[in-house]
């Protein structure tokens, strides 16, 4: 297999602009012309659902044809398919994650207990006939137990994004998310009119909890207000307790039977 030449490929697209890249065209002893796309281009095409073969080394983006012009045409057709996507939806969404870590039991009057033993709940617990179905371990949405201990706590993440859905000629669909500051006119207009959206967008030091699965909701001011209120509640809690975390402060509060959160 001998290299014949390097060819520049250029394809125009309405939504994407112009795509340019170079390919090395090789010719085999049997007169077959071949090329393998650059890795970054092949990755883009594959994500868009463009069908491609692999070469002998397993690299995606292999093309072959009996003529050099035919080979270039096949590559251009693949590029044109990649460029053909049509935006089917554009809207603002809120990506969020709420994690609670806790483990406890509860009496029927709503009082929280450290565990569901009869000593604390006054109800039977276990698998026997005396077990009360109301009496069981109550958990947050992060699983903790005797063999998987954790500190108790509450975590929240919420940030707005522009979501755009695309459809390609191949039939494949793809969703892309863009931060609001790069979201174009749809983001600018929403930020101009949405107070709680701007509030949420303006929180700089927030990220997804490690290993968490994010959810999403379509944007509305009510949804944003919900998350803003949750974030403010954590900040208000911090304001109440941040100056009373040293042993001497806790001892003083305990001796005077003061309530930080009451």
Give pLDDT tens digits for 106-151.
999 999 999 999 999 999 998 777 889 999 999 999 989 888 999 9
| pLDDT band of 21, cuts 50, 70, 90 | very high
pLDDT of residue 212: 82
Residue 262 confidence (pLDDT) above 60: no
pLDDT of residue 18: 72
User: How does pLDDT run across 158-189, given as a tens digit for each residue?
Assistant: 999 999 998 877 677 889 999 999 999 999 99
pLDDT of residue 13: 60
Instruction: Kindly state the tokens that stand for 111.
Output: 């009082």
Residue 17 confidence (pLDDT) above 60: no
For the whole model, what pTM was predicted?
A: 0.72
Mean pLDDT over each residue of the chain, to the nearest integer: 91
User: How does pLDDT run across 97-107, given as a tens digit for each residue?
Assistant: 999 999 999 99
Residue 82 confidence (pLDDT) above 90: no
Average pLDDT over residues 18-46: 92
Average pLDDT over residues 20-26: 94
pLDDT of residue 164: 95
Query: CA-to-CA distance for 90 and 242, rounded, in angstroms?
Result: 42
% of residues, the chain, pLDDT over 90: 70
Residue 57 confidence (pLDDT) above 90: yes
Query: CA-to-CA distance for 60 and 52, rounded, in angstroms?
Result: 7
């Amino acid at each position: 297999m001998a290299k014949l030449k390097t060819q520049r490929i250029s394809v125009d697209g309405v939504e994407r602009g112009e795509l340019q890249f170079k390919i090395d065209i090789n010719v085999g002893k049997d007169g077959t012309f071949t090329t393998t796309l650059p890795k970054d281009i092949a990755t883009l095409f594959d994500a868009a659902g463009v069908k491609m073969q692999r070469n002998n080394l397993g690299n995606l983006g292999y093309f072959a044809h009996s003529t050099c012009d035919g080979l270039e045409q096949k590559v251009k057709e693949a590029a044109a398919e990649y460029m053909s996507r049509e935006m089917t939806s554009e809207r603002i969404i809120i990506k969020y994650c709420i994690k609670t870590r806790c483990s406890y039991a509860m009496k029927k009057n709503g009082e929280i207990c450290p565990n569901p033993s009869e000593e604390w709940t006054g109800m039977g617990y276990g698998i026997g006939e005396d077990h009360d179905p109301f009496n069981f371990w109550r958990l947050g949405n992060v699983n903790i137990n005797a063999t998987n201990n954790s500190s108790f706590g509450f975590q929240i993440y919420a940030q707005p994004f522009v979501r755009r859905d695309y459809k390609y000629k191949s039939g494949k669909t793809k969703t892309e998310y863009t931060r609001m500051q790069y979201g174009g006119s749809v983001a600018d207009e929403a930020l101009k009119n949405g107070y709680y959206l701007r509030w949420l967008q303006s929180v700089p030091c927030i990220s997804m909890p490690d290993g968490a699965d994010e959810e999403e909701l379509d944007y509305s001011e009510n949804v944003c207000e919900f998350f803003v209120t949750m974030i403010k509640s954590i900040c208000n809690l911090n304001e109440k307790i941040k100056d009373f975390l040293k042993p001497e402060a806790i001892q003083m509060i305990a001796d005077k039977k003061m309530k930080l959160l009451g």
